[in-house]
Amino acid sequence: MLNDTDARFLRIAYDEAKAGYDEGGCPIGSVLARGDTLVSQGRNQRVQKGDPIAHGEMDALRKAGRQKSYRDTTLYTSLSPCMMCTGTIIQFGIPRVVIGENTTFGGNEDLLRERGVEVLIADDPDCIALMTRFIEEKPELWNEDIAEE
C-alpha cells in the first residue's frame, strides 16, 4: 500500500512519463526522493536526445547529480525497470523502488528483491493506460526501447 508521499512522487513520475509521450518519446518517468523531499525527476529521453541509455530512471539519476549516498532514497518509476536501470539501482544501493506498473512490461522486480531492495508495485491505472496506448500506437519504438526485434 502506498503512503501519501509515495502517491505524490509516483504522480510526478507519471507526469514526467506523460510529458515524454507528448514529446514523441517513450512514456516512462521517474523520481528520486529522500524521504518526503524531491531530489530530482526525469523521463525517458532516448528519442528526444538520441541517447540510447537515457531511460527515465537514468535521466532522474543524472539530474540528481553526485550524491554521497543513495541509501536513504526511494526511486519512483512509472514502469518496471529494465535490466540496465535495475543494475544501476543495485549499483547505487538504492534501498526502495516504487513501480507504477508492471502489467505492460515485467521488469526485474525479483532481481531487485534478491538484492535486498524493497519493491512496491502500485498497479496504477494511469500508468497502465499510458503505456498500453503508447505500445499500441508505436510498437516499433517500444521494441527499440526494450531492445527487441
Count of CB atoms within 10 A of residue 9's CB?
Answer: 22
Domain that holds residue 99: 4-146
List Cβ neighbours of 139 (8 Å cut-off, separation of 6 or more). none
Marked catalytic residue, from 16, 23, 57, 149: 57
| 8 A C-beta contact, residue 95 and residue 116 | yes
Count of CB atoms within 10 A of residue 2's CB?
Answer: 15
Specify whether 57 is catalytic: yes
Domain count, the chain: 1
CATH code of residue 138? 3.40.140.10
Beta bridge partners of 31: 41, 76
Residue 134: helix, strand or coil by DSSP?
helix
Indicate the pTM of the whole model.
Answer: 0.96
List Cβ neighbours of 87 (8 Å cut-off, separation of 6 or more). none
> What's the CA gap between 23 and 42, in Å, rounded?
13
- H or E segment to which residue 75 belongs: strand 74-77
pLDDT, tens digit only, all 149 positions of the chain: 799 999 999 999 999 999 999 999 999 999 999 999 999 999 999 999 999 999 999 999 999 999 999 999 999 999 999 999 999 999 999 999 999 999 999 889 999 999 999 999 999 999 999 999 999 999 999 888 777 76
